Amino acid sequence: MKISKNRYHGDLPKIGIRPTIDGRRNGVRESLEQTTMNLAKSVVKFLSKNLRHYNGELVEFVIADTCIGGVAEAAQVAEKFSREGVGVSITVTPCWCYGSETMDMTPTIPKAVWGFNGTERPGAVYLAAVLAAHNQKGIPAFGIYGEDVQDVGDTTIPHDVQEKLLQFSKAGLAVAMMKGKSYLSMGSVSMGIAGSMINESFFQDYLGMRNEYIDSSEFIRRMDKEIYDKEEFERAHSWVKENCMEGPDNNVEANQRSRVEKDKDWEISLKMALISRDLMIGNPKLAEIGYGEEALGHNAIVAGFQGQRQWTDHFPNGDFMEAILNSSFDWNGIRPPYMLATENDSLNGITMLLGHLLTNTAQVFADVRTYWSPSAVERVTGYQPQGLAENGFIHLINSGAAALDGTGEQSIDGKPAMKPFWEISEEEAQKCLDATLWRPSSTGYFRGGGFSSDFLTKGNMPVTIARINLIKGLGPVIQIAEGYTVELPNEVHDILDTRTDPTWPTTWFVPNLTGSGVFKDVYSVMNSWGANHCSLSFGHIGSEIITLASMLRIPVNMHNVSEDKIFRPSAWGMFGTNDPEGADYRACSNYGPLYR
């Protein structure tokens, strides 16, 4: 099992388990002690097998020292959780307990309650009572209630309860992991893109994060003064020569850079990658060469690089830097990906971070570039789209910053996939590299040169695209579209790809259609997308994003997740049950940002 050292300051968050119990002595409590504690232990056993942090470490659990029968024991547990670094709270019980006396009152920690569905003891009655207390006190909690009745003493966890425990835990850990970390802006606003206009209130109030900034000139200073690990640079340089294949230069001959210039571009691109990583998380090697301040980094769990245009009009673009850091491997081997947004699009960077923390996989940064209708495809290529693509598709393509995991050269059960780094084999990493060409950048876009990754994503991968947008007077909203990557005949791909920029990575995407609303057709999904960028995650994780968004109090303005998979705090239902989208907006507005 591969485990990487935690690269951020602060301990990894833990999950706290709170076994609550009927506090009446002289026979009642005593008869329930073992059953209640065993139920808590069964939750730990299940979640331990299914949860890992981004770096491969097992998630740690903290169980209350005793069952919680009243306010004194609740206070003792709260103190223990605070001391132990608990960031997520799960209360479990098979019986009636005193609701407001036993509840978790810590307002900023995501919390869930599993009330055992059994007839011998009324765990479900406690669940209803304590959720009512949470709702009345304005501390939202997720209620978990199994569909089928179980016998008292049964510590197995039904499948529907497992799904909710896991969905809640993944989202809760993401909330806890972001808290106290930084978003690092490397440069400023790129080409007037709104996402790179940093809104500090969003980061602070909704995510519990801070914002850090450096000017692009810091890259020049570190290159000129050699503030990077020169030994690592030489190793990386050799690795690039061996593993990063250059592709054809599409620039007209008069605009092509010489071999000497291209070699220099590679050197600068590599140094940019080393420097941006060091800016994000620090590097003790820098202290050894006399740069103790630089060695500390900015504790950035996500960053963005402005690039265009001030940098790229004179220096090589950031495509190699962004693509290789976003990937799950580099010259140091297979490791957790970094989250680095092109054009300093902080909102897409955060969307990438949400997807990464929920899945532990690399994310693909992309433009939502073009909707191709079936008739347009046939007009241009003579081909009538079939299968998944029969209703048209969306071209996801950006200038080359996409993680190489996006090639789809990794596999699960023989099917294309993107996996957590600890599941990726050396062979799979090499396949991703072999499937990627590094194309000399268009000197029309990037006057300073550089290289862009060029690959085609394999088809039939289940994926989810998402995006956070900021709306004046409303705040953040998030949109989600689950779907699949599709493959086109080579000659069709070539014709369509050439119309945009064949030197960039392409993913052909089809959202799952529901027949109504925005998801009645592919065109409407494209037409309703709220910005020029999206983040693509492997798997259908829309339900997990919805759960996470509700914890952060960010409403979801569009999604194609089936209603039975939507899991939000109990209080959301009190804002309306007939219109879940409207209830989500009202609840988020009522409670406000998590850290306000």
Q: Is residue 3 part of a domain?
A: no
Q: Which of 166-180, 212-226, 389-403 has the lowest mean pLDDT?
A: 389-403
Select from 269, 373, 371, 326 the least CA-distant residue to 535: 326
Tokens of 436: 């990627």
Q: Is residue 374 part of a domain?
A: yes
Question: Do 83 and 98 belong to one domain?
Answer: yes
Q: Is residue 355 part of a domain?
A: yes
Question: Do 190 and 170 belong to one domain?
Answer: no
Question: Do 211 and 145 belong to one domain?
Answer: no
Question: Do 95 and 215 belong to one domain?
Answer: no
Tell me what pLDDT residue 9 has. 95
Question: Do 447 and 509 belong to one domain?
Answer: yes
Tokens of 587: 């609840």
Tell me what pLDDT residue 43 has. 97
Tokens of 120: 């011998």
Question: Do 173 and 206 belong to one domain?
Answer: no
Evaluate the omega torsion of the peptide bond into residue 309 and state whether it is cis, within 30 degrees of 0.
Answer: yes
Select from 565, 560, 566, 596 the least CA-distant residue to 583: 566
Strand, coil or helix: what is 263?
A: helix
| Final residue belonging to a domain, choices 156, 178, 200 | 178
Is residue 121 scored above 70 in pLDDT? no
Tell me what pLDDT residue 2 has. 84
Is 288 tagged catalytic? no
Tell me what pLDDT residue 235 has. 98
Structural domain of residue 101, as residue ranges? 14-178
pLDDT tens figures, 461-483: 999 999 999 999 999 999 999 99
**CA–CA dist 151, 170 (Å, integer):** 28
Question: Do 128 and 195 belong to one domain?
Answer: no
Cα atoms in the 13 Å half-sphere on the side-chain side of 420:
18
Q: Which of 17-26, 144-153, 238-247, 346-355 has the lowest mean pLDDT?
A: 144-153
Q: Is residue 9 part of a domain?
A: no
Buried b (16+ CB within 10 A) or exposed e, 294-315: bbbbbbbbbbbbbbbeebbeeb
What are 437's strand-pairing partners? Answer: 245, 454
| Final residue belonging to a domain, choices 160, 178, 196 | 178
Annotated binding site for Mn(2+): 343, 367, 533
Q: Is residue 531 part of a domain?
A: yes
Q: Out of 73, 212, 319, 343, which one is annotated catalytic?
A: 343
pLDDT tens figures, 160-211: 999 999 999 999 999 999 999 999 999 999 999 999 999 999 999 999 999 9
Select from 250, 230, 15, 33 the least CA-distant residue to 111: 15
Tell me what pLDDT residue 152 has. 77
Query: For the residues of 337-368, what is the DSSP string, one character each?
Result: PP-EEETT-HHHHHHHHHHHHHH-S--EEEEE
Tell me what pLDDT residue 556 has. 98
Percent of the residues in the chain that have a pLDDT greater than 90, as a whole number: 91
Question: Do 22 and 91 belong to one domain?
Answer: yes
Total Cβ atoms within 10 A of residue 85: 15
Q: Is residue 145 part of a domain?
A: yes
Select from 409, 365, 418 the least CA-distant residue to 538: 418
> What is the rounded average pLDDT for all residues in the chain?
95
Tell me what pLDDT residue 1 has. 67
Tokens of 152: 């008292």
What are 563's strand-pairing partners? Answer: none
Its sign, for the CA torsion 478, 479, 483, 486, is negative
| Band of pLDDT at residue 120, cut at 50, 70 and 90 | low
**CA–CA dist 268, 50 (Å, integer):** 41
Query: Would residue 405 be called left, alpha or beta, if left means φ above 0 and alpha means ψ between -120 and 50 degrees?
Result: alpha
pLDDT tens figures, 525-537: 999 999 999 999 9
Strands laid side by side in the 210-214 sheet: 210-214, 182-186, 300-305, 340-342
How many structural domains does the chain have?
2
Buried b (16+ CB within 10 A) or exposed e, 397-419: bbbbbbbbbbbbbbeeeeebbbb
**CA–CA dist 463, 508 (Å, integer):** 11
Question: Do 112 and 128 belong to one domain?
Answer: yes
**CA–CA dist 526, 393 (Å, integer):** 9
Contact between 146 and 116 (Cβ < 8 Å): yes
Q: Is residue 4 part of a domain?
A: no
How does DSSP classify residue 271? H
Segment 110-133 shows an average pLDDT of: 85
| Band of pLDDT at residue 27, cut at 50, 70 and 90 | confident
Question: Do 121 and 197 belong to one domain?
Answer: no
Cα atoms in the 13 Å half-sphere on the side-chain side of 164:
23
Strands laid side by side in the 437-440 sheet: 245-246, 437-440, 451-454
How does DSSP classify residue 118? B
| Band of pLDDT at residue 119, cut at 50, 70 and 90 | low
Q: What share of the chain is helix, strand, coil (3-state, %, to 5)?
A: 40, 20, 40
Is 343 tagged catalytic? yes
Segment 15-36 shows an average pLDDT of: 92
Tokens of 330: 């580099």
pLDDT tens figures, 68-105: 999 999 999 999 999 999 999 999 998 889 989 999 99
Percent of the residues in the chain that have a pLDDT greater than 70, as a whole number: 99
Burial class (CB in 10 A: 0-12, 13-18, 19+), 360: buried
What are 246's strand-pairing partners? Answer: 438
**CA–CA dist 402, 363 (Å, integer):** 8
List the CATH number of the domain containing 549: 3.20.14.10
The helix or strand, by DSSP H or E, that contains position 428, with its residue range, turns out to be: helix 426-434
Query: For the residues of 4-73, what is the DSSP string, one character each?
Result: ----SSSPPPEEEEEEB----TTTHHHHHHHHHHHHHHHHHHHHHHH-B-TTSPBPPEEE-SS-B-SHHH
Select from 76, 131, 143, 142 the least CA-distant residue to 103: 131
Question: Do 54 and 189 belong to one domain?
Answer: no
Tell me what pLDDT residue 156 has. 87
Question: Do 164 and 196 belong to one domain?
Answer: no
Q: Is residue 144 part of a domain?
A: yes
pLDDT tens figures, 240-293: 999 999 999 999 999 999 999 999 999 999 999 999 999 999 999 999 999 999
How does DSSP classify residue 204? I
Strand, coil or helix: what is 537?
A: strand
Annotated binding site: 343, 367, 533
What are 212's strand-pairing partners? Answer: 184
List the CATH number of the domain containing 100: 3.40.50.1070
